[in-house]
Chains A and B, each alone.
Chain A
């Protein structure tokens, strides 16, 4: 097979902090990279590795404070590193376009989908008639397999689901038939089943439109699923590259090895012996959210539909399902942030529906939560120490004792004691999540609710945090409700699983049984959709 010239040919690209002088610290260091037509090149690395910076350098959309410090970015034969502003305006969209991570923010919320695509065409193809434009938009929306293109054209972004929005973003990226599509974590914000569909779609469209794709991801599952070539980045350098299969099967660089090793394989735990006294028992929980639009039209969403489950002491119950399946509502109900409309929730042997005042506060002290986003779950204006002792102080623990607990927990989660006097922004995502875990455990709860607690973390950090949960649980003996959309993670930490779909529990049982012999079609679909497939349990 002959190799035509690549569409994108980056050589020796360096990006430095925009400081005067030749020795400004570099965030991207002499990166070489090529993307060919009809091929997907993956750029993989953890947060801070410089992968997104590299891709924004191609678009010349570097964030303020960064500048290109050398190297060439040949895009279809033209050097983007030297292009003038006017040239850039014509190149962007026409030759290269971008698909972003967050489909919600990538679209203008007050503009109809059709108009947003039409705007692109109007600017870049002024000769096109309105009729031709409409036909083209319909074509594009059909191409990305939106269910009803004529309807979708008139829809506002909020009327579409996350997956549908990402399809629209891809349609926009394709509108001008660009030679190169840069996709920055295009499926990270999506559910597994949607992710699989979008990746398949991307692959198919790329071949049909004869373009190349530079796919940025942190997920080796995605690489295994779609990549032709892969470049592994660490600290701004490409440490390894090659054909995807080769790199995955025979990684040479220690960093690649460690990244691949960190991807949680499926590891099933032997279920705990059943105990007679359940810590939490829920029967027939129902919760309906009713929203009323301005015109008075009512919309009811059943977030929980006859949900029943139980958690034994010391057990981790996993809740898996896609977004909108009611997982987080379940957490809120258990935290008593929300009242179920119907059903019985018995915790610590008593019905919690009627808890008020002091009893409610006592209950909450025993049920603590770890949230998904480590950047939002600590008050940015309070020192770590203040956050750690606040809860215990409020619940009758003396100051000295609370300090003791906080320091001990910091040791336990692997952070220096000096952390007490620092602010959250001085820590990385993984460290913050450790702090959040310490904060929850400082209350000495009997139940910990972890809502997507590792989803926002890099894989290597994810593994560490999961291990931390595990060992703390062994030591302190709390029970856990572990909510996740990531089945690999679930298999690593949960004793039993419940699978939720549209507010209903469609399947429940010991983790291994659910994975290896799913009873419900939806569970089977979920397992099918895991990028990289169900690797053999170790």
Chain B
């Protein structure tokens, strides 16, 4: 006699579909993110022109048939630059947010459940928080040299203490919940109590924090580029394209309009998806929605 045989549950795809139906906005966000991701991955096929190709003749062309999103001060095709830039920006955003979320959650859970670890770990976190983010990032990148990995790490480290504090606070309050006490009383090993009863309760605020970090990381990468420690300015990333176009904002607003648009739509989609995930992960809210 198995659990599933007794009470058949709908198949995975069916459950996914019904989840999408109950969360149309979040499902829309998934579609938008998929489109942006596809555009970035297939950038070379969609945009025919070279994102690095300079043609001084075509400086500041307005959006039109030749340049879909216009061109910048070196006559480079902004459409191509935005699509190609998505690769770096999305990678930096997703990687650093995930890395920070994982490391921060781990630290937070440990600190929230072991007293001895708490004092040491959280003081280290306090120390990290005391260093200005950009300074730390500049130091790391100038030491290691700019590469995707070094930039991701530079951006994610200052975020770790924030996540750790959040998760630690959640863990401390969840630890007092009777159902967690009951689990300890049923002599579950510590890690199972953490994984089954405490971690799931932390996911809602974590999802919100993640979407925020994702957006912030894309912007931070741009700041690093602007300070000259990120990717060289000719390499397109959304941040770089915006930074380059900033000077010509009044003359050629399309230089920052389109990368800005991509950036905000992506960030918005991540945020909406985060909210949707939070609701879906909580059966209480999920039930209220379907009613």
Interface residue ranges, A against B (CB under 8 Å): 335, 337, 360-362, 364-365, 367-369, 371-373, 376-382, 385, 387, 390-391, 394-395, 399-400, 403-404, 417-418, 420-421, 423, 425-426, 436, 439-440, 443
Contacts and interface: CB of A to CB of B under 8 A. Distances in A.
Given A380-B284, A381-B283, A369 B182 contact: yes
A391 B283 contact: no
A380 B178 contact: no
Given A364-B187, A420-B6, A420-B7, A380 B283 contact: yes
Interface in B154-197: 177-189, 192, 196-197
B284 A377 contact: no
Contacts of A420: 3, 6-7
A335 B282 CA distance: 30
B144 interface: no
A371 B1 contact: no
Contacts of A399: 2-3
A400 B1 contact: yes
Interface of B: 1-3, 6-7, 9, 177-189, 192, 196-197, 200-201, 281-284, 287
Contact of A337 (B3, B6, B181): B181
Contacts of A381: 200-201, 281-283
A382 B187 contact: no
Given A373-B178, A385-B3, A379 B196 contact: yes
B287 A426 contact: yes
A439 B182 contact: yes
Contacts of B282: 380-381
Contacts of A421: 7, 9
Contacts of A335: 181, 185
Nearest to A372: B178
- What is the interface of chain B mostly: helix, strand, loop, or mixed? helix
Nearest to A406: B3
Contacts of B187: 360-362, 364-365, 391, 394-395
Contact of A391 (B7, B186, B287): B186
Given A376-B178, A382-B196, A420-B7, A364 B185 contact: yes
Contact of B183 (A360, A385, A390, A426): A390
Q: Which 8 A-B pairs have the closest CB atoms?
A: A391-B186, A361-B187, A377-B178, A371-B178, A421-B7, A364-B187, A423-B283, A379-B179
Contacts of B7: 385, 418, 420-421
A390 B186 contact: yes
Contacts of B6: 403, 417, 420
A368 B177 contact: no
19 contacts: A364-B185, A364-B186, A365-B187, A367-B185, A372-B178, A377-B179, A379-B183, A379-B196, A382-B196, A385-B3, A399-B2, A420-B3, A420-B7, A423-B283, A425-B284, A436-B182, A439-B182, A439-B186, A443-B186
Given A385-B3, A395-B186, A378 B283 contact: no
Contacts of B183: 379, 390-391
Contact of B186 (A360, A368, A380, A382): A368
Given A394-B188, A421-B9, A376 B281 contact: no
A107 to B, nearest CB: 21
Q: Which of A377, A385, A395 has the most CB of B within 10 A?
A: A377
B287 A423 contact: yes
Contacts of B181: 335, 337, 369, 371
A364 B281 CA distance: 31
Nearest to A404: B1
Q: Which of B3, B177, B196 has the most CB of A within 10 A?
A: B3
A14 to B, nearest CB: 22
Given A365-B187, A385-B3, A418-B7, A423 B182 contact: no
Contacts of A400: 1
Contacts of B184: 337, 364
Contacts of B182: 369, 371, 377, 436, 439-440
B171 to A, nearest CB: 14
